[in-house]
Amino acid sequence: MKSVTLTINGQQVTADVEGRTLLVKLLREQLGMTGTHVGCDTTQCGACTVLFNGDAVKSCTILALQAHGGEVVTIEGVGTDEKLHPVQEAFRDHHGLQCGFCTPGMVMRAIDLLAKHPKPTEEEIRHEMEGNLCRCTGYHNIVAAVQAAAGLTPVGH
């Protein structure tokens, strides 16, 4: 076991992990942050997307020890029950979710996209979000939600 210290949602956290422990497993199983989902364990689906040092990453691709000293923001760190993050509001208002399983990863990816490119085109949104899979919505409403969060006219609305 090795000790890892990182900042998660603004709080410094230290945990003992095995060398093979993935960041997603640390978040979910040791720290109880179950908003970060495990959908595939093969970096295909994006359900485990978090912000790591300011970039959207699939947390199943990072060892917890690699995150040592870093800053992680999970879905629990964006918005509250009383005040949703604007991207969360847009997903709600534009029906950008159905079962909700992919939603935390989609929201985290959209937050990163809009932080780096505040006025993306529909094509840019589709390209940037393609690493996050949804099995329910067909993506139309997800794109509309990202456009709404960017202050653009949503597709079809």
Taking residue 19's Cβ as centre, other Cβ atoms within 10 Å add up to 9
Which fold is adopted by the domain 2-77? Ubiquitin-like (UB roll) (3.10.20)
Taking residue 86's Cβ as centre, other Cβ atoms within 10 Å add up to 17
Which fold is adopted by the domain 86-149? DNA polymerase; domain 1 (1.10.150)
DSSP state of 67: G
Task: Give the pLDDT of residue 2.
Answer: 97
The yes-or-no verdict on residue 66 having pLDDT over 60 is yes
Query: Which of the pair, 41 or 129, is modelled with greater confidence?
Result: 129
157 confidence band (pLDDT: 50, 70, 90): very low
pLDDT (tens digit per residue) in 116-132? 999 999 999 999 999 99
Task: Give the pLDDT of residue 125.
Answer: 97
Instruction: Parse the chain into domains and list their residue ranges.
Output: 2-77, 86-149
